[in-house]
Amino acid sequence: MVAFRLRRVAFTVLVIVTLTLLPDIERAIFAQDPTETEPKVIEVVARRFEFEPSTIEVTEGERVRLLVRSADGPHGVEIKQFKVKKGVPRAKPGDEPVTIEFVAATAGSFPILCSEYCGKGHNDMKGTLVVQAKPKGANEKRFWKSRPYPVRPSQFGLR
């Protein structure tokens, strides 16, 4: 009789621990890895003394690919929060744009700076990267909530 009760208690503890950890296990299994999704591609033109578009909006956790061209002389793109810093050479016909990829891992508003001196208005050449916070629960598949029937304690011999 004691062994039966002991097994029943052990099983009950196991079920409770499993159900408690289930959301974390699901998140680890079903959450999308940002490196597996296609990046958001944004074309940017750098010219004296502005970036076009001046404001770039993305979502937290999203992969971003900036395709940057210079409309006049040499420029640079720097976003310190995401350790992005790349030079953009003087534009020549037929040149490919400079590709900059990163993951917008932190929500907030971050300055985009020109990292190459480009003239008297260089310090005024700024843009803004706006990273919107990801809604809670976004891109999470809730397997246990999508079951066609509820799990009842009686299914496990519990009262």
pLDDT digit string (tens) for the chain, length 159 residues? 777 777 888 888 888 877 776 666 666 555 555 445 789 999 999 998 999 999 999 999 999 999 999 998 999 999 999 999 999 998 888 889 999 999 999 999 999 999 999 889 999 999 999 999 987 765 555 544 555 555 566 666 665
Residue 115 near residue 127 (C-beta atoms within 8 A): no
Strand ordering across the sheet containing 40-47: 50-52, 40-47, 63-70, 98-103
- The Cβ of residue 37 has, within 10 Å, a number of other Cβ atoms equal to 13
CA dist., res. 77 & res. 2, Å (int): 71
156 Cβ contact partners less than 8 Å away, ≥ 6 residues apart: 11, 15
pLDDT of residue 112: 96
Give domain limits for the chain: 1-31, 40-132
pLDDT (0 to 100) of residue 25: 62
**pLDDT at residue number 53:** 95
CB 74 within 8 A of CB 90: yes
Identify the pLDDT of residue 7.
Answer: 82
Which pLDDT value is given to residue 28? 59
CA distances in angstroms from 4 to 1, 17, 111, 119, 156, listed in the order given:
5, 20, 65, 83, 14
Residue 155 confidence (pLDDT): 60
Global pTM?
0.64
The two tokens of residue 11 are: 């099983």
Radius of gyration of the chain (CA): 26
Q: CATH homologous superfamily of domain 40-132?
A: Cupredoxins -  blue copper proteins (2.60.40.420)
d(CA 51, CA 93): 20
For residue 47, give Cα distances in angstroms to 29, 35, 93, 100.
45, 31, 16, 17
